[in-house]
Copies of this chain bind each other. A is one copy, B any other.
């Protein structure tokens, strides 16, 4: 085992005031941080942590070789990402082998659709890894709508906008409460699926939940709108309530 520890620290939905006490302490006390970003961009995780980072912190940016240039279904996508994660693992191990701790900044909750998982599975047998859970982006989104997401025995289903339209529609019809993530360029497909499932009129669109530029609107009022990848669609459950 390496002498240093990798901390996979969830930063939550965006507002620095919504980091956990533990995450806040780890980020403020970090000597080495690492984070994913798209080449040429500051990186969402790095931006969220901006006000918290101590002076002199050493930064290790991990830049995706591809994001949306190659379709997910292309084997080249998988090969490029796999090599990338292996390379990131080596960089982190060089630090932990030298006895240094590294805080990996993660948007949302690290184990919930996060990229950190790809490092975690490659590191966990050789390096001490601690994962700090966080408030999910979807919790930030449903809180922003000002209405509870689930009541009583409601079934909640979480769907990615990257799924095919039939799969989306079938699962949307079946659930009581719904969250759809990874919207962006999938928005038109997601709208059609919500219509097919009879859930379009009660869907809400939340952009930049808990951040200063947060917007909350009925999805039907955002017709034709271009939305960021990290926007979230919420359909509230209507279950038992005394």
The interface of chain A, by Cβ under 8 A from chain B, is 12-13, 15-22, 24, 72, 77-82, 84-85, 109-114, 117-118, 120-121, 124, 131-136, 139-140, 142-143, 146-160, 162-163, 171, 174-175, 210, 240-242
Cross-chain pairs A/B with CB under 8 angstroms, 27 sampled: A12-B20, A13-B133, A17-B22, A20-B21, A21-B21, A81-B242, A82-B242, A109-B139, A109-B143, A110-B143, A111-B139, A112-B139, A112-B142, A113-B151, A117-B151, A117-B241, A118-B241, A118-B242, A131-B146, A133-B135, A133-B142, A133-B143, A134-B135, A136-B139, A152-B160, A155-B157, A171-B174
A17 to chain B, nearest CB (A): 4
Does the CB pair B114–A148 fall under 8 Å? yes
Name which residue of chain B comes closest to A18, CB basis: B20
Docked complex Cα distance between A112 and B140 (Å):
11
Among B111, B135, B146, B153, point to the contact of A163 (Cβ < 8 A): B153
Nearest 6 CB-CB pairs, A to B? A81-B242, A117-B148, A156-B158, A82-B242, A111-B148, A133-B143
A50 to chain B, nearest CB (A): 15
In the bound complex, CA of A136 to CA of B150 (Å): 13
Expressed in whole angstroms, the minimum distance between the Cβ of A183 and any Cβ of chain B is 13
List, in ascending order, chain B residues with CB within 8 A of A210's CB.
133
The verdict on A157 contacting B157 (CB below 8 Å), with A121-B241, A133-B18 known, is yes
Least CB distance from A210 to B in Å reads: 8
Q: Which of B20, B152, B158, B242 contacts A150 (CB 8 A)?
A: B158
Contacts of A20 in B (CB 8 A): 12, 17-21, 135
A sample of 10 more A-B contacts (CB under 8 A), given A110-B148, A113-B151, is A18-B132, A82-B242, A112-B148, A113-B154, A117-B241, A124-B146, A133-B142, A136-B139, A152-B160, A153-B162
With A and B bound together, what is the CA distance between A77 and B150 in angstroms? 19
Given A113-B151, A149-B111, A240-B72 contact (CB < 8 Å): yes
